[in-house]
Structures are given as structure tokens and as C-alpha cells.
Structure 1
Amino acid sequence: MTRRGKSSGELAEAVRVEGILRRSRDLPAPRMAHVILIVAISCYVGITTLNILNAGVEGRGLAVALASLAAIFALQLSHSRPGARHAPTSRKVLTLGAQVALTYLPLITLKAQWGAMAGFLAGSLLLLLPPRLGWSLYGLVGVSMLVPALLEGMSALFTVYIVQTTLLTGLVTFGLSRLSELVRVLHESRGALTRAAVTRERLRFARDLHDLLGYSLSAIQLKGELIHRLIEAHPAKAKQEIEEVLAISRQSLADVRRVASGYRDMSLEEEIESARSVLSAAEVTAVTDIRLGPVSSPVDTVLATVLREAVTNILRHSRAGHCEISAVEKDGLVTLSVTNDGITEGYRDSSPHSGSGLGNLELRVRAVGGELLVEQAPGGLFRLVACVPADGDEDRESDESADEERVGAAI
């Protein structure tokens, strides 16, 4: 993979992770998700309790029914807890067997008033058993509710209602239990994901620095020791060695810049495709207007760098929902415009001349004869515009040292 493709891919991955983390903040807390599950189960138990009371059950029968309801409620909470499907098989067989007994035995006396409890059993089967077996038994539980309905001589409409209610209760129980677990896992993994991303980037940076600077720093150290020995006896030779050290140090600084920003040899069109993917992953609607002709390599690289920084700022420092990207060439002038509607009040780049800041972008745009404009438009819009000659070229020989000094100071 080329450095350009690798950089675009790494940015897309990093910002995609940023988008996931940002969206996860809108999810309910794990405790709230668990409370919602408990309330839903309690409502089903409450409805069954009201049906039993409405049927006129009294005395010992009522006490047994309420005790059975409490037992089913406790079993369902146990089956719905995170990680319950990983419990030992013996425990799952025991608790499911108890729930089967508490589901079907009261049907003998309570009949249809107890029918909702079969939905909990159906949900527990889905939660605790392998998918193929769980779904098969889930359907069997629903069909089993035809038996008490037929024995009581219920109408076809009420029979369908009992079966449908059982299956629906099972789906709701299963869905809320799994969602509660997923919310908990997501909140736990958010910190781990952030730490993993930081560690991965730290390792990449250390690896690249080792590969690029290991030889250069070793050479500078050796030549420094040589200069120390030659400076009195052979000043001319020492001067020559100093010039070589300066050349190595300038190359090392250029290598640091490549590691830190990776902006060279980039393509605007490839960066636009990456931006579409990144913005889509972050749920930002992107509208693009691309009308480009041939542009020089330095201009292509600078404009791609501007777009990358603009997209990164949108995702990290705004709450944008809509973004417009246009790259148009007219009369030998390429204009790149990035507009978004997510400006955040009070935000200001605290490091305007950092290697990834807008100040450094302005230096790069000016290096190819262009101009960078940043403005806040009415309606909470933020616009970044770069105008660059299509054939602009950077004088790499004459400006290399000054450019490296600027980037080196920023780093």
C-alpha cells in the first residue's frame, strides 16, 4: 500500500471510530436500559395480576398465583441478565425446567388469564439456548397455547390472539434483554476502543520514527563525535562534516513531517471519496460538486490536505448534519470549498500553527501560490475555502529548508 493510500485509510478508520464514539453518547446508560427492561417485564406481570383478580380468584388460589408470578418474575430477571446464556448447562436446564412448570401447571386452573406467562418462557428459550433450538422451541411454545384455547372452546379470533400475544411477549422480552446487554457492552468498550486507538497510533508513530530516523540520528551522533575530534586539528574537514550533519538533520526533519502529517503524494479525488465514506459513517449528509481538470502534483496534495483537515474538524469540533464539498476549476484556478452547518459556539483552534491546524494549512496553500479563507456564514454555517492556481508548483529546492523549519517548530 502506498503512503497516500495508507494515510487516507488510517484517517477514514480513525474518524469512523470517532463517529461511533460520538453517536454512542446518545444511547441510554446501561442502568437506564436495565430499568426499561425491568419495567417492561413488571408491566406484563401486572397485566396478568389484574386478569387473575378480574377472574375472581380468591383465597389460597390467589396466593399460589401471586407466588408463581413472583417466581416467574425472578426467573425472567435471571434469564435476562447479561451473560446468562453462558451459565452452566445444568443451571440453565434447572431454571428453564422450573419456568416450564410455573408456566403450564397454573393453566389448569387459571386458563387464559395465565396465558401471558408463556411469552416469558418463549423469550427465555431464545435467550438461553442456541439459535436453531431456541427459535424452534419458541415457535412450539406459541403453538402450545392452542391447546388450552381449544379445551375451553374459545373462538378462533381469541385463540389467534392468545398465540400472537405469547409470541409477541417472547420477542419483546428477548429484544429488550439483548438490547440492554448490548448497551452495556458498548459503554464498556467505548473506553477500551479509545485506548486501543491511541495505543495503535502511538505504536505506528514509534515504528515510523524508528524506521525513518534510526539511521539519521545514529549518523548525526557519529559525525558529531568525529567533528569534536577534528575541530582543532583539521578545521576544514570539520566544516565539511558539519555541512553533512546539517543536510542529514534537514532530511530528518522532513522525515518527521512525513510521519506527523503524511500529507505528501496525496490525491484530492481520492480524499473526496474517503471524505464521503467518513462523513457517511458519522451520519453527516455530504453533497459534492466536483469539476476538476488536470492539476499539478503539489496543488493536488495541498488541496487534499485542506480537505482532510476540514473533514476532521467537522467531526471533532462540530455537530454538523450537512456538509457541502465543491472542487471546481475555472480559468486556471482551482477552488475547494467545504461548508458545514455544525458550528460550535466558543470553539477556537487553540494551536493555529500546529501541524494539523488551520494556520499550517494556510502556509501550505500559500506555498503553491494560493489563498485560504475561513469564515462563519449566517445560519450557523462554517466555510473553509482554498483557491489555488491549477499549475501552481512549490519551489522545493529553495523553500525546503524554510518549510521544514516551520513544520519543525510546529511539531
Structure 2
Amino acid sequence: MTEQISAPPLARGGAQVERETGTDMRDECRNAKDRKARKARKAQWKAEWKADWPARKAAWREAEKARKARGEAPDYGSGPMGPPNAFTLLPWLLLGMGAISNLLHGKTPNPWIGALGLLLFNSLYITLVFRAFDKRAREAAATRWCLAALAAVTCAMAGAYGDSWLLFFPLLGLATGAVVRGRRLGQVLFGISALAGVIAGLREGWDALGIVYGTFLSGMVTAAILALAETVRELRDTRQELARNAVDQERLRFSRDLHDLLGHTLSVIVVKSEAARRIAPRDLDAALGQVRDIETVGRQALTEIREAVTGYREASLAAELDRARAALTAAGIEPVVRQSGPPLPPQAATLLGWVVREAATNAVRHSGAGTCEIEVHGGPERVRLVITDDGSGVGSTPPGSGLTGLGERLAAAGGTLTGGPVPGGGFRVTAELPVETGEGDEGNG
């Protein structure tokens, strides 16, 4: 009888430990290599991101400058944080994974009917959520029929199979909240939730109260989020429209200012040039004086145009009265200026300064008058400016675009501007403005 001597257990354990140790060392080496590779990829990605960042930042700034030049609001709603769309509602279909699992494992009676119902439900759900984000399609009759068909399929599958198939009721509520808007939403969701409660109660008893709660809550939350997104979108569109209107109004204001500036200045230059040409053969020094005045007026016009471009220019009434005197005198028209009443508020003085400039320019260019009277009467509530010349009557100072624009400005400030021929010859421009108490006190101070 031979005795077999087996290896000591300790020896076998040592070999096994050696093999396991070698495997662990190889795994650690492999993990270390993976960590180094991940760190290298992360460092490379950071380097590429830092290198591309200045270019992407510059491109974004150029795009925002272009939007601002077009009068559009900044684009804060694009990208990953943009408003919801149909694709954001599709992942909720994963609630039906339990029903699919039952079909695959043969736990559902008549699996072909269940598969057909599942396919029909998914098709109707996808159709509804895509039609929900188009107002015309959402309000169409076909959408309501699709929602009714989805409700019928849901009730049929949940009533026939129960269990995981009851989770299609919250999906039905979600589709209802996406499609139905307004006062009907509460009624429709209440009806669907009650129907879900009846069917789920028959199948699962009191444990199915969560289905009722989930159905109603999913519909209301979806409707609230989509309504809020639509409101934000409408506000953004309104803001862009207001920005475009503001740009149009600023362009109109600038065109009026430029017309008033250049009309008056060019008229003075023309009048002084004609005066210099007439008196040059007789009195060269006087002609040179007129030329110096032309140079002064031209320099002043350049300054005013620069100030008008930057939007800081305001026509002072006192300065415009002095300029009107000089322009009328140079044109051979005797100016008569009368001013009474307390000091005017800045806004009223600015608007009346534009009226004086425009009326004096028209008198110089069109009237052929011998005298031009400018009267300013200030009262506690209203201020009145009257400019009258004794020119050739109806055709003396036609109310062109300058007076029309000034009339719009005064109307916006609560005032009026009228102009017309005077009986017996001449032309009269009358402007009236309300004097606000706060501004009047500031002007007096």
C-alpha cells in the first residue's frame, strides 16, 4: 500500500497567493496607464479649449455687435439653456420600459395585441408632442382626435393589463398638458385623472392613488412650463420690436436735428456769401468781414454736427435768438425780439429754440420780408412763442419738413405748433408749450 503525499496546504496557498498577487499588479499597472491616458487627454482638451477661447469669444462679440446694430436684443435664450421643444418630452417614454419588459419576458397575455397597442401609443404620443409646439397644428381638429385616440389606447391597455401599463396614464397627462391650453386644461385633466383613478382602482386597489396624482401633476406641470416658455418667447420678441422702434425713433430724431442744423447754417452761409459778393467791388474790408463770418459759421456748424451725432446737443433759446438776430440782419431783415415772463424750463427752452431756428431760417430763405418779430411770453402754466414776418404772404415761409417735425415734437411734449399767412401780408408761426412746475423751478434756480 502506497501512501500518497500531497502538497502541504500552505504551499498550495502560497502559489495561489503568488498568482493572485501577479494579477493584481498587472491590473494596477493597467489602471495606472489608463489614469495617465485620461490625464493626458484632459490636459490636451484644456489646452485646445484655451487656444480656441479667444477666437470663439471674438466671434460671439461680433455677433452681438451685429445684433445690436440691427436693433435686436441680446441672444440669451439659445444653446443648451434654450426653451423646451418636442425632443425634451420624448425621454418620458422610458416610463413604458416596464411594459416592454413584460412583453419580452412573456408576462403579458396576447403579446401581439400588447405590442401593437404599445406601438400605437408611442406613435400617437410622438405626433402630439411635435404638434404641440406649432400653434396652428396644436389648435387643429386632427390634434384633438389624436389626443382622444391616445386616451382610448391608454385606457384599453391599462384596463386589460394593469401593473406597469398603468404608467401610461401619466404620459397621457403629459401629452394633454402639452396640447391643451387655457381654461379647458383643468377640466380635461380632471376627467383624465378621474378615469385613471377608476381603472387603476379596479386593477390595483388603493395602491393606485399614485397614478391619479402623477397623471394630474404631469399635465399641470407640463402646461405651466410650456406656457412660461411661450411667455418668455413673446417677451423677447416684444423687446426686440421695441428695440427696433427705438432705433427708428432715434434715426428720425437725428434726421430732424440734422435738417434743422444744416438748413439754418447753409442759409446763413448763402446769405453772407451773397452779401460779400455784392459789397466786394465797393468795400473789400466789409466783404472780408462777411467771409470771416462765413468761416465762423462753418466752424460752428461742424461743432454742432459733431455734438448732434453724439446726441448731446440742446438748442438754447437765448443762443438761438442771438443767431436769429445775426442771420436776419445779414439778410437785410430787421429783427425785433421781445421776451417776457420768468425763465423757462430747459425742455421748453430747447424746443422753442428749435422753433426760432426753423422760423428764422424760413424767413431768410423764402419771405423777402423787411421785418421779423419774435415774441416770447412766459406764464405760470404755458409759454407762447410768436414769430411774424411781413414777407410776401402765402408763399413766404411754407411749412416744410422742418415745421412738420417740430410740430410732432411739440405735440409729444403736450404743446402745439401752427403756421399760416397773416391777413394783409406776411407769415406767422405760433408755438405753445406747457410749463411743468418741477422743471420751471429748476429753471428759475
TM-score of the pair, normalised by structure 1? 0.47
Bigger radius of gyration among the two: 2
Higher RCO (CA-CA < 8 Å; seq separation 6+): 1
